[in-house]
A and B are shown apart, each in its own frame.
Chain A
């Protein structure tokens, strides 16, 4: 069982690094939802179904909704890179 937990935690950390490294903002939002997805399964394995349900509802549903809506509002939804070329080159990667 511990290997599934290890796989999930590894996924979580890799997705968290991907959030900071990926250039496209929508891809970063998808990676954020992956972090909370893995986290909710970890919470279930840690015998905390209440917390897992909150994390699933908030992290997978509401947070993605809010982030996607504000990306739309900000006009940062471009498929390729960022809106401003000079930021796309150096500003996005943290």
Chain B
């Protein structure tokens, strides 16, 4: 597919955000760092899915982003509860 200039810029931004968040996941010294970076990445990926839907010119892909955004929150909250578990 061929992208317009704006779409190419958005693609580069999404890729850069993914890369930076992933570097934090690999480097992060403690587990909470890594969990927070996973949460950040899930938000970025929700945006990336919407962008991909725009590039492909098909509104069907927005449903995937909807489901992803709704469920990534629940998953991250469960992991956060598991971390907090020891202190309560």
Q: Is there direct touching of A and B in the complex, by C-beta distance under 8 Å?
A: yes
Closest 9 CB pairs of A and B: A61-B71, A64-B75, A30-B38, A56-B68, A68-B82, A68-B78, A24-B31, A27-B34, A27-B31
Q: Return chain B residues, CB-CB under 8 Å to A22.
A: 34
Expressed in whole angstroms, the Cα–Cα distance for A64 and B80 within the complex equals 11
Expressed in whole angstroms, the Cα–Cα distance for A56 and B65 within the complex equals 9
Interface residues on chain B, number (Cβ under 8 Å): 44
Q: Return chain B residues, CB-CB under 8 Å to A77.
A: 82-83, 85-86
Contacting residues of chain A (7-48) with chain B, CB-CB under 8 angstroms: 7-8, 11, 14-15, 18, 22, 24, 26-27, 29-31, 33-34, 37-38, 40-41, 44-45
> Which of A14, A30, A44 touches B49 (beta carbons < 8 Å)?
A44
> When A64-B79, A78-B86 are in contact, do A30 and B25 touch as well, CB less than 8 Å?
yes
Chain A contact residues: over half helix, strand or loop, or mixed?
helix
A sample of 18 more A-B contacts (CB under 8 A), given A26-B34, A56-B72, A68-B75, is A1-B1, A1-B3, A3-B15, A7-B15, A8-B18, A18-B26, A26-B35, A30-B34, A40-B64, A45-B52, A49-B60, A53-B64, A64-B75, A68-B78, A68-B79, A69-B78, A79-B31, A79-B32
> Which of A4, A24, A34, A45 touches B22 (beta carbons < 8 Å)?
A34
Q: How many A-B contacts if CB must be within 8 Å?
A: 132
Interface residues on chain A, number (Cβ under 8 Å): 43
Are B34 and A68 in contact, CB atoms less than 8 angstroms apart? Answer: no
Q: Return chain A residues, CB-CB under 8 Å to B85.
A: 72, 77
